Amino acid sequence: MTLEPIDPALVPQRVVQGGATMPGIGLGTFGSDQVPGERVAAAVYDAIRLGYRHIDCAAVYGNEHLIGESIERAITTGVPRDALWITSKLWNDSHEPSRVAPALERTLRDLRLDHLDLYLVHWPFPNTHQPGVDVGSRDSNAQPYRHERFMGTWAELEKLVERGLVRHIGTSNMTVPKLRLVLRDAKIRPVANEMELHPHLQQPELFEFVRANGMIPIGFAPIGSPARPHRDRTPGDSVDVEDPVILGMARRLGLHPATVCVKWAVGRGQVPIPFSTNPANYHANLRAAAGEPLDDADMAAIASIDRDCRLIKGQVFLWKAGQTWEDLWDLDGTITPP
C-alpha cells in the first residue's frame, strides 16, 4: 500500500508563549530499549516525508546521532528547517550547571542542528539508570528534588535561550507544586510540560494548571505505551486500547483504537507524541491528528474513563529506601520531603 503524504497545514498548531507555533502531533523516538536506533531514524525520515513536522528526541534515547542524519536528509531534500519543530531533553546526569551547555552542544552535534525548538529538563531528579535495568535498580547517588538545585540547572537553560541555541525551554515529569516554584522563580518561563497523558491517565489537575499558566501540555505515551520497558510494567496496569469505550468507538468510526487515543489527545488540546516505526501506524496517527475530530459526545465518553493509571512510574529514580513510586509524584499537593 502506498502511503500518501499528508499536508502538514491540516495538523492543528499550538501557539507557544512568544508566538511560535508547535505542530499539534509529534513523532516519539524512544525505542523502549528494544527498537534499534537505525529503525527509529528511518522512521523519522519517512515520517517527515509523510508530513510530520515535530520530532520528540532525547539524549538518553541513545539515537540522536542517527536521527540527525535523517533530519539533515529531510532538510537537504526540501523541508525547510524552520518548518520543523525539534525537541530534545537534558538527561539527569547533566543537571550540574557546568554540564548543561556541553550536553546541549552534544545533542546539537548529534542532531546536526544549530538550534533546538524546545529543550526540556527530562526529569526533575538528577538520578540516572542504565538502559535495560529492572524496576529495582537505584542510582547510588540518588537525590530528592531540591528546588534551588533545579533552578541552578534552569538558569543554564535560560543562558542557552539567550545564546540562541534553543528557542524555548520546558519541563517534563513535573508536578503542580514543583511547577509552581519554577514559575515563581524562572527568568524565562517554561513554555511546555511533557507529561504522561492517555485516556487512562488524564491528570486533569496538572493538565489544567499547565494550560492556565500558558504552557503547552505535551502528552507522552498517548497510546498507553504498549511496548514500554519491563521496568515500567506493574500488575494491574490497565490497557487503553482494550478499554470497551475506546474499542466501541473504534469499531463505530472504523479506526484503530490507537488512533482514537490520538484523536482524543488532539481534541483535548494536548500535543501527543506517539512512537511508531511502522509506516502504516505513524501515517494513521498523523491522519488522525489532521482529520475529522471526535465529536463532543465521544470526547465526553473518553473523559469519563480516566483510571488515574500511571504507567511510567519512575521507580528507578527513587532516592531512599522504603519509598514507593508515589513519592515521585507529590500526590498530596506538596513536594515529598527529602
Mask: binding to ligand NAP, 150-179, rule CB under 6 A, as x and -?
Answer: ----------------------xx------
- Active-site residue, from 52, 61, 145, 282: 61
Q: Grid coordinates standing for 88?
A: 530534545
Residue of 30, 154, 207, 209 interacting with ligand NAP (CB under 6 A) = 30
Instruction: Output the nine-digit C-alpha cell for 198.
Output: 492517555
Among residues 63, 203, 277, 315, the one that binds ligand NAP under rule CB under 6 A: 277
Q: Is residue 61 flagged as an active site residue?
A: yes
- 194 vs 330 by CB, closer to ligand NAP: 194
Cell numbers describing residue 66: 542517527
> What DSSP letter does each residue of 61-106 carry, written as one string?
GS-HHHHHHHHHHHHHTT--GGG-EEEEEE-GGG-SHHHHHHHHHH
Of residues 214-233, those binding ligand NAP (CB under 6 A)? 220-228
Among 8, 23, 24, 28, binds ligand NAP (CB under 6 A): 28
How many other C-beta atoms can be found within 10 angstroms of the C-beta atom of residue 305?
16
Region 278-297 residues binding ligand NAP, contact defined as CB under 6 A: 278, 281, 284-285
Scanning the chain, the segments in alpha helix (DSSP H) are: 37-50, 64-76, 97-111, 147-162, 176-185, 204-212, 244-253, 257-268, 279-290, 296-303
The footprint of ligand NAP on this chain (CB under 6 A) covers a number of residues equal to: 30
Residue type, 45: Y
Chain positions 81 to 120 lying near ligand NAP, rule: CB under 6 A, are: none
| CA atoms of 55 and 48, how far apart (whole Å) | 9
Residue nearest to ligand NAP (CB): 28
Identified binder of ligand NAP from the candidate list 84, 273, 318, 328, rule CB under 6 A: 273
The residues that are catalytic are: 61
